[in-house]
A and B are shown apart, each in its own frame.
Chain A
């Protein structure tokens, strides 16, 4: 499949209607959507198409795109799933900023909305970016709890618990809210110039597990993040933290990761497993509940 990197920064034709962002949609009767289109079979660069849809109170950019797909052009391609800012599927470049379409109110943008695929990503079709490089970089940083070698059986089949204080949880909690929506990567100026850069998403997730008191995988992660295209490539622009729809601060995570590389992880040893298991182990005689067969 042919894909194209959006080379140019999309400059919005009109940032907002009179009244600007936050005008509240008062008097808005229709929404003008300027949508970037890209067909890998015939296009070499983005082309633009304009649609008009009737405005309804509370309309999000995703609602407007769905209206376009239902009433104007069924071939328009975009991703969405939960419609409530949880799944991270509908990341788009809306009026000059990477945003989740389902969390962006049309009324805050005025009457004209310009929608393009996420920058710093190849485009699969129309507004669908190729997120696989983000996921590959995420996998590189070992985004899971790594226990010392002797604890492997306990990890596979837990019999006891790990102790963690609320303060220890606070160290990584905000980073655990990451949706993997890749908006931070789309906003990152370093990712725009260096395709090998690990990127704010993966680096912040590396810190999320490094800061977890149960984790002992610092050495494996340090090998990944401490390279020429790792944590020290960050220019500290802070655009990633501004773009994150869940309030995660990847720029902070990157700075804390730099500190960790110099002085070591916040906890010298992973927390030991403690105490008996609080819930009874599964009864082998009792059959496990089975998921219903898929409907699609």
Chain B
């Protein structure tokens, strides 16, 4: 894939991260802010609330998207740094392969973490 497409996706992932991470932070860490907007105040970090979010398909989708965009954004940044400090033509291919493999490992591990909170037999 051409560098411009990878870069455009990097920018898009950055924008998406702001939105998705914003939702995560607002719900998990700044419920008072949501309260000002009329959102009902609950114990968002209590066991029941965490378990309910873990079993929710909507939250699973949000976290998979957050995971995917974060891994892509981070790995693309890492790749750019490595390309700049390790710059023989052969090294370029090795860096790309290393970054793809590392990104896939992190992504799959993240998927396991997201979906192991789901109840057996499917999401609610």
Q: Which listed segment binds B: A97-105, A192-200, A285-293?
A: A192-200
CB–CB A232/B87 < 8 A: no
Q: Which listed segment binds A: B15-23, B78-86, B110-118?
A: B78-86
Closest residue of chain A to B11 (Cβ to Cβ) is A262
CB–CB A262/B4 < 8 A: yes
CB–CB A194/B4 < 8 A: no
CB–CB A258/B4 < 8 A: yes
Cα-based distance from A230 to B2 in the complex (angstroms): 11
6 residue pairs of the A-B complex, CB under 8 angstroms, read: A194-B84, A226-B2, A228-B3, A228-B92, A232-B80, A261-B2
Among A190, A196, A229, A261, contact of B4 (Cβ-Cβ < 8 Å) = A261
Among B2, B7, B85, B92, contact of A193 (Cβ-Cβ < 8 Å) = B85
Task: Give the dominant DSSP class at B's interface.
Answer: helix
Closest residue of chain B to A193 (Cβ to Cβ) is B84
Contact with B along A1-27 (1 / 0, CB 8 A): 000000000000000000000000000
For A159, the chain B residues whose CB sits under 8 A away are none
Given A226-B3, A233-B83, 16 more contacts at CB 8 Å?
A190-B84, A194-B84, A194-B85, A197-B84, A222-B2, A226-B4, A228-B83, A228-B92, A229-B87, A232-B4, A232-B7, A233-B80, A258-B7, A261-B4, A262-B4, A262-B8
For A57, the chain B residues whose CB sits under 8 A away are none
Closest residue of chain A to B2 (Cβ to Cβ) is A226
CB–CB B87/A195 < 8 A: yes
CB–CB B83/A229 < 8 A: yes
Contact with A along B82-120 (1 / 0, CB 8 A): 011101000010000000000000000000000000000
Number of A-B residue pairs, CB cutoff 8 Å, is: 35
CB–CB A230/B3 < 8 A: yes
Cα-based distance from A18 to B4 in the complex (angstroms): 50
CB–CB A232/B85 < 8 A: no
Taking CB atoms and an 8 Å cut-off, the chain B residues in 1-41 that contact chain A are 2-4, 7-8
Residue of B4, B80, B84 ringed by the most chain A CB atoms within 10 A:
B4
CB distance from A186 to the nearest CB of B (A): 18
The answer, yes or no, to whether A133 is at the interface (CB within 8 Å) is no
Cα-based distance from A197 to B80 in the complex (angstroms): 12
CB distance from A70 to the nearest CB of B (A): 43
- 9 closest residue pairs by CB, A with B: A261-B4, A194-B84, A228-B83, A232-B7, A226-B2, A196-B87, A226-B3, A226-B4, A232-B3
